[in-house]
Amino acid sequence: MGLRVSVIGMGKLGSCMAAAFARAGAEVFGVDVDPDVIAAVNAGRAPVAEPGLEAAILASAGRLHATTDTPEAVAQTDITFVIVPTPSEPNGAFGLDLVADAFRLVGRGLRARSSYHVVVLTSTVLPGSTRAALVPLLEAESGKRCGRDFGVCYSPAFIALGSVLRDFLNPDVVLLGESDERAGTRLEECYRTTFENEPPYRRMSIENAELTKLALNTFVTMKISFANMIADLCERLPGGDVDVVTGALGFDRRVGPHYLRGGLGYGGPCFPRDNVALAYLARALETSAPVAEATDRFNRALPERTVERLRGLLHPGCVVAVLGLAYKPGTPVVEESPGVDLALAVVAAGARVVAYDPLAGPSARAEFGDRVQVMASLGEALHAADVVLIATPDPAFLRVTDEDLPKDRELVVVDYWRLLAERLAGRPGVRYIAGGRSMDDPLNAARLVRLWAAATGLEPEAVTGVLAV
């Protein structure tokens, strides 16, 4: 008999993992509390919108089944993955109520098992959660002992919405926190028969794996914020260009090019909360995480700082169009979205705001209420606007045409991602401003003159002459 897998929680990640295991040849039982999810999976349809998911379900050749019965699914399988929400609490910690409920049900399923079973937690949790809070629930409900009758692993997935299946199947690294060697080996074998690439496996204690998950996302967000800091500096230097600077930085192997692009900050369901959680953990352990705290403060301050830079463009009665409302292109998710936060900050500054996103319009309407009008098309948003703010690097915005641009007035376009630089820079009727690049060379040169005249004691005219050379 081949590998038999149960997946508890059929959201975007869980459903993609279940389909991937089934496509690779495992018999898979997906569990969810939503009967519509169960019906969709059993009918061969994707229960959530993710590229490639429905094709993977169809390619599973009937090996993917869905049910609401967690104990029964666990009893029929060899390895169980738990992927349920761990919502953030006000203090920054991750709530364990839902995952604890799932573990209790998994424990009841383990009671009926006569052979060794592996339980894998994939949901994001604080270090110590798995061993101290969750393993005891499995032992209490099953009457069995971890490390003897069953094993537990903590193994998070590093994915982005809109590319969940691809990211899961092609990880850069696999974190594998294990209660015992047998559990880790069983999980690694499962992954090796499923993944499309050959990633490095890092096997470690459960607590080290839990910490590594938070540390990795915190490091990535620090890198994003660093690039945004450089973008701000480049806007204030004559000839400054963030892409030139970060492009050179990325060649250094100590830095690398990934996530080093000046833009409008990070958002989504993972990055912001992992930073906050790491800072909470540090306080709970009687220390501090000032880098994580500074990264979070810097990112949350970007909308107001951005609006402050725009004040010269926001004349009374002007209409501002914000393009890009999802937290990233290719998804309808607006959780912690920089574009949504920017739109609301512009409203607070007194301007009328319209907005457009190719996928996130309905989600954003629910977020905005009547404060922002979400338009049905890119052309409608542009025709309504005096100032356009491009908040995400969505390829859909590259499809702008002459018909989309107003003909009766100059349109100011502030492009924080330099997405339309080749298309709009120098175009008649458009004043194009690229974020992260010098907007006013004479003004920026004057800043340097003041700096170095004060630092050297030279007359400003002398410094000006040197800078001119």
Give the residue numbers marked as catalytic.
270
In whole angstroms, give the CA distance from residue 459 to residue 366: 58
User: Could you tell me if 47 and 40 are in contact, meaning their C-beta atoms sit under 8 angstroms apart?
Assistant: yes
Question: Which 3 state secondary structure label does DSSP give 412?
Answer: strand
List % helix, strand, coil for the chain (3-state, nearest 5).
45, 15, 40
In whole angstroms, give the CA distance from residue 44 to residue 281: 42
Burial classification of residue 147, based on how many CB atoms lie within 10 Å of its CB (0-12 exposed, 13-18 middle, 19 or more buried): middle
- The count of other CB atoms within 10 Å of the CB of residue 440 is 13
Which runs of consecutive H residues, i.e. helices, occur in 331-386? 338-348, 361-368, 378-384
In whole angstroms, give the CA distance from residue 232 to residue 416: 11
- For residue 7, what are the β-bridge partners? 30, 81
The separation between CA 231 and the C-alpha centre of its own chain, rounded to angstroms, equals 21
CA angle 396, 402, 408 (to 5 degrees): 120
In whole angstroms, give the CA distance from residue 383 to residue 254: 46
Question: Which regions of 70-168 does DSSP assign to beta strands (E)?
Answer: 79-82, 117-121, 150-154
- For residue 430, what are the β-bridge partners? 411
